[in-house]
Structure 1
Amino acid sequence: MKKIDIKDFGMLNKIADLYELPKEGAFNIRLNSQSAARQNSKNVEIISKTDKSGIDIKVKSNTKGEKIHIPVVINESGIEEVVYNDFYIGDNCDIEIVAGCGIHNDGCNTSRHDGVHAFHIGKNSKVSYTEKHYADGENTGKKIMNPETVVNVGENSECIMEMIQIGGLDSTFRNTVASLKDGAKLVITERLMTDNDQRADSDMTVNLDGFDSSAQIISRSVGKGNSVQVFKPNAIGNNACKAHIQCDSIIMDKAKISSVPEITANHPDAMLIHEAAIGRINNDQLLKLMTLGIAEEDAQDVIIQGFLK
């Protein structure tokens, strides 16, 4: 196993709020394409895949209050990997999963992590999932992530997902596909900031197949510099269901932002709503902060951080 040093914990703190290895709960720390630390618990088993890179995370039915960490760190230039993680979550569970990936690339070669996550959630369960992406590095090596997420939410279960891109990634393409059964609920919040010549694309499709299923998709983004953002969420109502898509973006400098929310109703009792707004920072808010003695650039940062929270 790779050894985790203090610099690695600095990155783990950014993406997973870890200052040290968790003393309780299951975890798997992936460092430079290898498992650097792993721990199972009474109710959660993490197993390495034998046919490809990645892990299976198996959560027993009736598991409550368990927190699972599965972060990834790449700190060597030139590492490019595709990793497959499958979550099998039983019935009547209430758990929290903390993922995320951090890339530090001071070299000239591209570093890339493509994480493919599949969630299989049983009945009457609640799953909270947080995924933070961040990259840094001073040289010309590109930092790239292309996450793919498949979510199957069982009957009367709830899945709450927060997907955050803190900054530093040159390119990212996110693809998310979800399917909801009877009474299932899905809430996805995506927070994104791009700068310089960075590009971020996000495609999201939610299939509301079950009776009385519901989905809420929230996107909040800030585009700076010459960066480009493209967000394409789609809610498809195949039964009596409810869905709401809300996309809000702040555009600055010479950035380009495209928000294309789509709703498709294949059932007369599907109630689907989408909203989208793109605009500059509110001048009144900016002036109010500046009258308090805050410099313009600092005032902009305060507004941006508040907007992304």
Structure 2
Amino acid sequence: MDSIQKELLEAVAGLHEIPAGAYNIRANGESAARNTTANIDIVSKTDVSGIDIKIKAGTKKESVHIPVLLSQSGLEEMVYNDFYIGDDCDVVIVAGCGIHNGGDAASRHDGIHRFFVGKNAHVKYVEKHYGSGDGKGERIMNPQTEVDLGENSEMEMEMVQIKGVDSTVRTTKASLKKGAKLVVIERLMTHGNQRAESKFDVDLNGVDSSANIISRAVARDNSVQIFKSVINGNAKCSGHTECDAIIMDNANISAIPEITANNPDAALIHEAAIGKIAGEQIIKLMTLGLTEKEAEEEIVNGFLK
């Protein structure tokens, strides 16, 4: 990998070098590096571009890294990745996409990740998106995530996009069986003329299933954000969706939460709050020696942690 690709790898996967354990690194439309383990197998698809990740039942304290790096201006790709996670697993999956565009043509990565999670499994999934480069070409990412959670399984999803992505539509769909639990934390910042749309659609089908969808967002300059969250309670279950956003400059934010109870024992809550940074917060930090701009940055960084 060249220096640009190494910078992207660090930004989206926190890696300074090739990781231990299972991994598949995709660079400019091709597999750049791959490793499997005794418990985690990675196989290229034969009908479409993408991979199958198969994790054996009972696998504990192992990780999979599958970052995607684009440093070639004008490259567009569509990738399909399927995860088959066996019963009683406890694993971490780190994904994400970094695009460096130094040219005039748009670079675009669209990806569909499907998760089939077995019974009593625990999965932590981290997905980060990042863009860089001083070219005029757009950096476009449209990730789609589909989750099927087995009985008494848990999935924690950390989804982060805080810099450099010009256009994105982020779609997440989930179906939960008996006792399954889903927690999603989204952190999102847009600036300039960027546009970001987040869509969540969760079906709580099993008894005692639960979902907690939380979005923390900051919109700056002339950027636009749309947050849509739908939770359907189809059994005795609990669901919560929340959007908390800071709006700055001439930005625009829409929050559209929707909850539907199709069972009398479904307990569902939605919350949405959009507002600017309070003046007293800025003044307090300025009394400590920060400039107004530094105070704003400190508040925004703390909000997105």
TM-score (norm 2): 0.99
Structure 1 position 167, deviation (Å): 1.3
Give the aligned partner of residue 69 of structure 1. 65
2:285 is equivalent to residue 289 of structure 1: yes
Partner of 2:76: 80
Q: Could you tell me how far 1:11 is from its partner in structure 2?
A: 1.1
* Aligned residue among 202, 208, 217 for 1:206: 202
Cα distance per residue 1:97-140 (max 9 Å; x no partner): 00010000000101000010000000000000000001011121
Name the counterpart of 2:256. 260
Rounded to whole Å, the distance in 1 between the matches of 2:269 and 2:88 is 30
Q: The residue matched to 1:99 in structure 2 has which SS? A: strand
Cα deviation code 1:160-190 (max 9, x no counterpart): 0011012111100011110000000000111
Post-superposition offset of 1:257: 0.1
The alignment partner of 2:210 has SS state of strand
Which residue number in structure 2 is paired with residue 107 of structure 1?
A: 103
Q: Are 1:243 and 2:239 matched, yes or no? A: yes
- Report 1:36-51 matches (<5 A): 36-51=32-47
- C-alpha displacement at 1:7, in angstroms? 2.5
Superposed CA deviations along residues 201-238 of structure 1, whole A, max 9, x for unmatched, are 11110000000000000000000000000000011000
Q: Which of 17, 22, 29 is the equivalent residue of 1:20?
A: 17
Instruction: For 1:85-234, list aligned pairs within 5 A.
Output: 85-234=81-230
> Within the alignment, does 1:10 sit opposite 2:2 as a pair?
no
CA distance in 1, matches of 2:179, 2:100: 42
Q: Which residue of 1 aligns with 2:267?
A: 271
CA separation in 1, counterparts of 2:278 and 2:253? 17
Q: 1-side partners of 2:6 and 2:35: how far apart?
A: 17
Deviation at 1:295, TM superposition (A): 1.1
> Runs in 1 of length 4+ with deviation above 3 angstroms?
none
Match of 2:54 among 38, 51, 58: 58
**Alignment RMSD:** 0.6
CA–CA distance in structure 2, aligned partners of residues 203 and 239 of structure 1: 22
Correspondence for 1:31 among 27, 30, 33: 27
Q: Which one-letter code corresponds to 2:61 in the other structure?
A: G
Query: Offset at 1:6?
Result: 3.0
Counting matched residue pairs gives 305
What letter corresponds to residue 76 of structure 2 in structure 1?
A: E
Inter-partner Cα distance in structure 1 for 2:3 and 2:195: 30
TM-score of the pair, normalised by structure 1: 0.98
1:100 is paired with a residue whose SS is: strand
Q: Distance in 1 between matches of 2:74 and 2:2?
A: 20
Aligned-partner Cα distance in 2 for 1:168–1:135: 4
Once the two structures are TM-superposed, the CA of residue 246 in structure 1 deviates from its matched residue by: 1.1
Match for 2:239: what amino acid?
A
Q: Is the 8 A contact 2:4 2:100 kept in 1?
A: no
Q: Which amino acid aligns with 2:13?
A: A
Q: Which stretches in structure 1 are left out of the alignment for 5+ residues?
A: none
- 1:166 and 1:31 mapped to 2: Cα distance? 21
**How far, CA to CA, are the matches of 1:217 and 1:182 in structure 2?**
19
